[in-house]
Amino acid sequence: METMNKEFEFKGGYLNGFLMIFLDILLWCATFSCFILGIVKSDSGNSFAPWIILSVLLLIASIICCCGFSMLEPNQAKVMTFFGKYVGTFRKTGFYWLNPFMSVKNVSLRARNLNAEPIKVNDKTGNPILIGLVVVWKLKDTYKAIFDIDTDVSNTAGAQVGNSATARMNKFEKFVAVQSDSALREVAGMYAYDNEDTKENEVITLRSGANEINDVLTDKLNERLAMAGLEVTEARINYLAYAPEIAAVMLRRQQAAAIITAREKIVDGAVSMVKMALDKLSEESIVNLTEEKKASMVSNLLVVLCGDEPAQPIVNSGSV
């Protein structure tokens, strides 16, 4: 059962960043002007307290204005909270001024790659294999990604305001890596590495059913990552091999299967050639052969056609 989508767009106030830079410069100029005017008033014997108080208030306002500037590039977002309450996700690209009393968590909505190292698993028949995958994923639901899983980067070594989004996305990547390992083990156990008989098209295997298995793997990953607000756009197996302890045995089995298949084709061809030779001799009445002679001729022709080494001819100077 899917949970209700709690993500929504930020609907609070924001201003153009360049306009606020101009206003902030005016505030700083007014702050210094009031402070200097207060000093001048004190030198002339007049009360300077109002001017000093006003300059302090203007200084506080100037500092507050300096803390609200924010720039957002395409496919990036800011998750906004106001004293712990989620107030929306800000996605407008450009340079803006936002309420500095709001907490901002930067996230990236861009697609990312995960190239997982090959792991050893057992396929459906119990054979140990090495299998690896490549995952293309991106953040889909910012509310789930920030608040439903642990992505706190405050204690991350070297985490700063500028790279906090990178540190947070690295945590997402670790989460995807763990879930990818679990999904890959499950999918690998559902199929055999290869079909042991010659009818390879009847059963989907890890070797022959790449497209179908990739689709299943993508679905399994999306089921696991939905709770974190992450989406897998593509998942595919990029490495597949038998484990070293059985690789030599399986190679001999494959070689034996290839030899048997080749022998079957050779025998089929030899039988058709022998039949053609006998029919030709009979149709053109070249020679009349008894059943015993036909059997001997068939045996000799099969030896010649199916043998690995060239046959040594024996000249028969007597009767056929």
Region of poorest pLDDT, from 107-111, 123-127, 139-143, 268-272:
268-272
CB 108 within 8 A of CB 192: no
Q: Give pTM, 2 decimals.
A: 0.69
Give pLDDT, residue 158.
47
| Residue whose structure tokens are 């540190």 | 167
233 band by pLDDT with thresholds 50, 70 and 90:
very high
Q: Give me the amino acid identity at 65.
A: C
The CATH architecture to which 112-242 belongs is: 2-Layer Sandwich (3.30)
Using alpha carbons, select from 124, 122, 125 the residue that is nearest to residue 245. Answer: 122
Distance CA 146, CA 157 (A): 19
pLDDT in tens, 182-197: 999 999 888 888 776 5
Q: Give me the amino acid identity at 243.
A: A
| Residues whose CB is less than 8 angstroms from the CB of residue 84 and which lie 6 or more positions away in sequence, other chains included | none
Q: Give me the amino acid identity at 24.
A: D
Give pLDDT, residue 155.
56
Q: Output 314 or 258, whichever has higher pLDDT.
A: 258
Q: Give me the amino acid identity at 240.
A: L
Mean pLDDT of 144-149: 89
| Alpha-carbon distance values, 31 to 17, 24, 97 (Å) | 21, 10, 21
230 band by pLDDT with thresholds 50, 70 and 90:
very high
Distance CA 279, CA 283 (A): 6
Count Cβ atoms below 10 Å from residue 191 Cβ, excluding itself.
Answer: 20
Q: Which residues of 34-61 are buried (b: 16+ CB within 10 A; e: fewer)?
A: bbebbeebeeeeeebeebbebbeebbeb
Give pLDDT, residue 192.
86
| Residues whose CB is less than 8 angstroms from the CB of residue 301 and which lie 6 or more positions away in sequence, other chains included | 270, 273, 274, 277
pLDDT in tens, 76-117: 999 999 988 999 999 999 999 998 888 888 899 999 999 988
Distance CA 90, CA 51 (A): 39
Region of poorest pLDDT, from 13-17, 58-62, 143-147, 296-300:
296-300
Residues in the chain, how many?
Answer: 320
CB 120 within 8 A of CB 234: no
